[in-house]
Amino acid sequence: MFESLSALSPDPILGLSAAFKKDPNPAKIDLGVGVYKDEQGLTPILDCVSQAQQMLLASETSKVYITPQGNQGYINGMVELLLGHNSAVTSANRVAAVQAPGGCGALRILAELLVRVNKNTRVWVSDPTWANHIPLLGDAGIDLQIYPYFDKNSASIKFDEMMDCLSKVSADDVVLLHGCCHNPTGADLNKEQWQQLTALASKVGFLPFIDIAYQGFGDGIDEDAYGLRLMAENLEEVIVAASCSKNFGLYRERVGLAAIICKDQSTKDIAQSQIQSVARGIYSMPPSYGGALVDIILNNKSLNDIWISEVEAMRTRMAELRAMLVSNLEDQNVDKDFSFINKQKGMFSFLCIPPEQVQALRDQHAIYFVDSSRVNIAGINHKNVSVLAKAIAQTL
């Protein structure tokens, strides 16, 4: 049966990891896959997670299925994390939500729900966007359209062009926005831009679809939810896909949240039943473990404090790495001004160099990152930064 299909080439990012593993060069540097790494190049289990695991081990009495919507303590904790304490939207019971298998699972079930509402749903995504948005949404049958976002020449957001494009979309359209730490560019909207975009969404009527996979990695846990909270407070409807992979370091546990902010409680009841039925039709119930850990962390004061400080440590370290890379590049007297790297947020930066130079860095210096020139900032450390800066200088 399957001979009628053709073999596909490996996923570019996962293929890059495989090529890195195979490379015998001891000085190789991996700036590919979006995983946080410490100074030793490791992705350790967070201390708050280790402690929550002990608590879960001591208290878990069954492996029976959890409910289709997932762990309610987790869901409530995540909704509060996303929308803030005392959110009027939460108090008005306008939020439908399910625990999802990772941010990817959340994106997919929301896409499936949008197709249930209208099989011709159009979703506008930024140029560029995270490569996996395309299959996650497109394979659900979404008609994907692109809005201008990032200008490689000036390494800045094309905000006017973006607004102009989005002012012409239809009221039935959906606009995918990165809540913070835009992947792949690291270029985020500022507060004024979020305010203008919220006003535009209200005027045009499009539905904002906010993907927030790096809350806490940009400016702070609350600060990174600014745009999401602004839209949630000011618009009737917003949908949200959140991930706990990065900020809780729970990558392999697959834990995320799909949330739908509805115009009123009765619409919320409809949305809740529909999103659960979408999930039931794909994987039935979410895996329990990751959500149970996040439930413990968010709802236990001392673990929550540890988590906040661990997220802060990761965020601060990435900001320091950015500064260190920029100053090492300056020391190399490169012609190109790389100071924009300091303004970008989170785990990624676009070096804004052409694919041939990315390839040359891979072939000649064993430095691995994706062709778009997106680098994982967390892959830099005190030992490799000068090698990296020298290699970039030689390649430019």
Ligand X SMILES: Cc1ncc(COP(=O)(O)O)c(C=O)c1O
φ/ψ of residue 222, rounded to 5: -75, -40
- Residues in 130-169 at the binding interface with ligand X, rule: CB under 6 A: 130
Candidate segments 63-71, 98-106, 186-194, 268-276, binder of ligand X by CB under 6 A: 98-106
DSSP per-residue letters across 216-250: TSSS-TTGGGHHHHHHHHH-S-EEEEEE-TTTS--
In the set 124, 130, 194, 307, the catalytic residue is 130
The bridge status of strand 95-100 relative to strand 256-261 is: antiparallel
Q: Give the nearest distance from C-beta 286 to ligand X in angstroms.
A: 12
Report d(CA 3, CA 1) in Å as an integer: 6
Token pair in block for residue 332: 């190399």
| Given 30, 173, 188, 211, the catalytic residue | 211
Single out the residue of 137, 143, 146 nearest to residue 106, CA to CA.
Answer: 137
Concerning whether 307 is annotated as a catalytic residue, the answer is: no
Given candidates 128, 256, 286, 290, which one binds ligand X under the rule CB under 6 A?
256
Cα 35 to Cα 347: distance, rounded to the nearest angstrom = 8
Contact range with ligand X by CB under 6 A, out of 97-105, 187-195, 221-229, 300-308:
97-105
Which of these ranges, 57-65, 85-93, 99-107, 285-293, lies near ligand X under the rule CB under 6 A? Answer: 99-107
Question: Which residues, at least 6 apart from 363, have a Cβ–Cβ distance to it below 8 Å?
Answer: none
| Residue 35 Cβ vs ligand X, minimum distance, rounded to whole Å | 9
Peptide bond before residue 44 is cis, with ω within 30 degrees of 0? no
* Residue 185 makes contact with ligand X by CB under 6 A: no
Q: Work out how close the CB of 253 gets to ligand X at its nearest, in angstroms, rounded to a whole number.
A: 9
Q: Are 30 and 14 in contact (CB under 8 A)?
A: no
Q: Which stretch binds ligand X (CB under 6 A): 41-49, 66-74, 96-104, 278-286?
A: 96-104
CA 350 and chain centroid, separation: 16
CB of 251 to ligand X, least distance (A): 6
Yes or no: say if 177 and 208 are a contact pair by the CB < 8 Å rule: yes
Does 298 bind ligand X (CB under 6 A)? Our answer is no
According to CB under 6 A, which one of 185, 215, 243, 384 is a site residue for ligand X?
A: 243
The reply to whether 268 belongs to the active site is no
- When the beta carbons of 14 and 88 are compared against ligand X, the nearer one is 14
Complex with ligand X: residue 119 or 252, whichever CB lies closer: 252
CB closer to ligand X out of 307 and 389: 307
What x-and-dash track marks residues 101-130 binding ligand X by CB under 6 A?
-xxx-------------------------x
Is 217 within 8 Å of 314 (Cβ atoms)?
Answer: yes
Q: Which of 37, 158, 246, 268 is catalytic?
A: 246
Find the part of the chain contacting ligand X (CB under 6 A) among 19-27, 108-116, 243-251, 335-343. Answer: 243-251
Q: Count of H helices and E strands in the chain? A: 15, 13
Task: Figure out which of the listed residues 245, 276, 349, 372 binds ligand X, where binding follows CB under 6 A.
Answer: 245
Q: How many CB atoms lie within 10 A of CB 158?
A: 18
211 is catalytic: yes
Q: Which residues contact 76 (CB under 8 A, 6 or more apart)?
A: none
State the catalytic residues: 130, 211, 246
Give residues in contact with ligand X (CB under 6 A). 34, 102-104, 130, 178, 183, 211, 213, 243, 245, 251, 256
